[in-house]
Amino acid sequence: MPDRLQFSDREALDFHSQGRPGKIEIVATKPMATQRDLALAYSPGVAVPVKAIAADPSLAYDYTAKGNLVAVITNGTAILGLGNLGALASKPVMEGKAVLFKRFADVDSIDLELATEDVDRFIDAVELMEPSFGGINLEDIKAPECFVIEQTLRERMNIPVFHDDQHGTAIISAAGLINAAHLTGRRFEDMKVVVNGAGAASISCTELAKALGVRHVIMCDSKGVIYRGRTEGMNQWKSAHAADTDARTLAEAMQGADVFLGLSVKGALTPDMVKTMAPRPIIFAMANPDPEITPADAHAAVPDAIVATGRSDYPNQVNNVLGFPFIFRGALDVRATTINEEMKVAAAHALADLARQQVPEEVAAAYGVAHKFGPDYIIPAPFDPRLIEMIPVAVAQAAMDSGVALKPIADMAAYRETLRGRLNPTTAVLASAYELARARPKRVLFAEAEEEVVLRAAIAFKEGGYGTPVLVGVDETRDMLAKLGVADPSGYELHNARHSPLVPQMVEKLYDRLKRKGLMRRDVERMVNRDRNIFGALLLAMGEADVMVTGITRPFRQTMIELLRVLDPATGHTPFGIHLLVGRNHSVFIADTTVNERPSPEQLADIAEQTAEVAKRMGHVPRVAFLSYSTFGNPTGNWLGNIRDAVAVLDQRGVEFEYEGEMAPDVALNREAAKRYPFSRLSGPANVLVMPGLQSANLSAKLLKELGGDAMIGPMLINMEKPVQIAAMTSTASELVTLAVLAAAGIAR
């Protein structure tokens, strides 16, 4: 497995530039189609809420987006680990932060880059924006200016102001520290903690550790220990944490230390220093991109050390995305006037509690994880879907208890339920699928490697660390790889039927399969030598690859016919296709969109069952609707028998998911329309739509993809004996990678 997620500079630039440039857009939340809509949205209708807000400013939270809007603000003086590159250069990072707010906690964000390094001008500019936003997230501002900016704005503004570079890392590391102390039987008041680094994050980590009860802290910077009486390189923030100690170097400070908190540079902590620490040491090596010491080196020095880093490819990742989206979610929902220490501590304890809880079976199945609390799991995974319902609740409660909540929540159970409904679990599963693919890399065969889009997908798949691409191509394929920027095209495994020593064996295998189906040996030889799908499917059948992706050069049905010459359906099952519609807080699985033209009742029942299983793997509780133009016999007509019989088949099978039919799409998806049929067995809108036939299914999927506002994944081919996916001919490289990852991770199968 590579040491971190890889991609080319070109891929990163393409990601940010293709389609609409950048990563965010403004979308209207109210209808704007008619003149009346516009009159209500603007003049004259807008005057009504204007007057209401003027009379009662708190109504801005009811009539505008203020209550769910955070400004992500920087001057670009400390961009990631790149330094002071200026406000404009920071914009891609700030847009990315806004995307994370939306993705993880459904918080709307606007990025603002201020072209000034003057602290007072920066403060004045941000302070004047208080009427526009419900909260301020400061980002990538260098120390010590960031301390002055945040503290002044917190004093002047009556909305939450939060510098994530300081407090985000502190909160996540504090959660890990709580659990590490629990595992090692330590009490905070007895711990000796050494902090290496004296920047914004280090100082915030130190302050929060002290808020947890830690009393003995030695902080070091590039000049050594920050001790009482030191004058060189000091400022008021360092002086606040000066220790009464004789130690003058990091090595001296580390002797007998229980905890190391590093936010400094690669290699700052040596194995010899680790050996001088107290038994079962706790090491948080959080320098990025490379930690102060790797977990392997730390464990080589002391095998039972508990180690955390900032890296996703090591256990116990200290990742700020575990904190800031959910902290703001809770703060906004109670209209907190600030984010205080009580709220930060509450977030840390909630994260620690979540890591100690047993991962529910359905979560483990959906996310491909089997996390268990212990030395290698003291911090929750970033894509744990329970974060949205646990962290904001703890933060909101702390805000209420500490008296900074202007809108207390009366029913916390109901609040938790609304939080759960804010996000679509599919998005977390998709993200987790990529991590699962990286953890268990597979050999994925790309069958049309003479096509540039396929080669781009194969390159992205390899550079992303998701597995090994196996290419079926031509002699010129390696030249094409070189033109696409691959430094070593020979590093890609390439199979060409012209030269493959496997061809004779393939011919024998396929001829034995087809000789009683009207085909001569020469027909089979021609297939193997000339058809990439036949050749690729035989490679898959012979174990040369784990997964196959094809479909770019031929229509789905033609490709499917070719694959079925080599591969069988899964035993006892009907192959079919699923298109997955992914919205902000909902997913809809549509089947069968690709294979069965007029499925029988038994096939419809099988399709419903198998699609429900895919929905479960995607983190959903399936609710299946068998669609028709008729709803429970109204209107009457032909072609309803198969649908009704399919429902009867499921009745006989006694399946453990909700299903109903026949029903029109509006009744299946719209709660108000469904109220006309109180006897319906669906407890809510359907998320699995079983279509009556291929024509309606395929038309619906393609119309939704072209006209709908949601993302579309698929088609995903289900129920083949070997994992094989047939992509749409219009697929992009990114879509091909997604199909490959879903198949490799076992979600689409």
Taking CA 491 as the corner, what is the angle to CA 486 and CA 495, rounded to the nearest 5 degrees?
110
Contacts 24+ apart (CB under 8 A), 210-217: 211/341, 211/344, 211/345, 212/174, 212/177, 212/178, 212/188, 212/345, 212/348, 213/187, 213/188, 213/189, 214/188, 214/189, 215/188, 215/189, 215/191, 216/191, 216/192, 217/193, 217/241, 217/243
Q: Give dist(CA 400, CA 340) in Å, integer.
A: 11
Buried b (16+ CB within 10 A) or exposed e, 338-373: bbbebbbbbbbbbbbbbbeeebeeebeebbbbebeb
At residue 333, what is the residue type? D
The secondary structure of residue 273, as a DSSP letter, is H
Query: Using CA of residue 147, residue 149, residue 150, residue 153, what is the dihedral sign?
Result: positive
Active centre residues (catalytic):
42, 97
55, two tokens: 């009379």
Q: Give dist(CA 356, CA 384) in Å, integer.
A: 13
Query: Using CA of residue 106, residue 111, residue 117, residue 118, what is the dihedral sign?
Result: negative
By CB neighbour count within 10 A (0-12 exposed, 13-18 middle, 19+ buried), where does 19 fall?
exposed
**Closest by CA position to 139, among listed 155, 159, 122:** 122
Q: Give dist(CA 73, CA 123) in Å, integer.
A: 11
CA torsion, points 218, 222, 228, 231, in degrees to nearest 10? -170
- What distance, in Å, lies between the first and last C-alpha atoms of the chain? 24
**Closest by CA position to 617, among listed 697, 691, 541, 716:** 716
At residue 254, what is the residue type? M
- Residue 213's CB is within 10 A of a number of other CB atoms, namely 12
Residues in the chain: 749
SS3 337: coil
Residue 309 parent element (H or E): strand 306-309
Strands in 52-92 per DSSP E: 69-74
SS3 620: coil
Q: Give dist(CA 34, CA 695) in Å, integer.
A: 33
SS3 54: helix
Q: Give dist(CA 94, CA 101) in Å, integer.
A: 11
CA 215 from centroid of its chain's CA atoms: 37
SS3 408: coil
Q: Are 593 and 697 in contact (CB under 8 A)?
A: yes
Q: Give dist(CA 459, CA 454) in Å, integer.
A: 9
Spatial CB neighbours of 128, under 8 Å, sequence gap ≥ 6: none
422, two tokens: 């804010």
Spatial CB neighbours of 592, under 8 Å, sequence gap ≥ 6: 576, 577, 578, 599, 607, 690, 691, 694, 697
560, two tokens: 């499917």
Q: Are 406 and 158 in contact (CB under 8 A)?
A: no
The position carrying tokens 């390094």 is 117
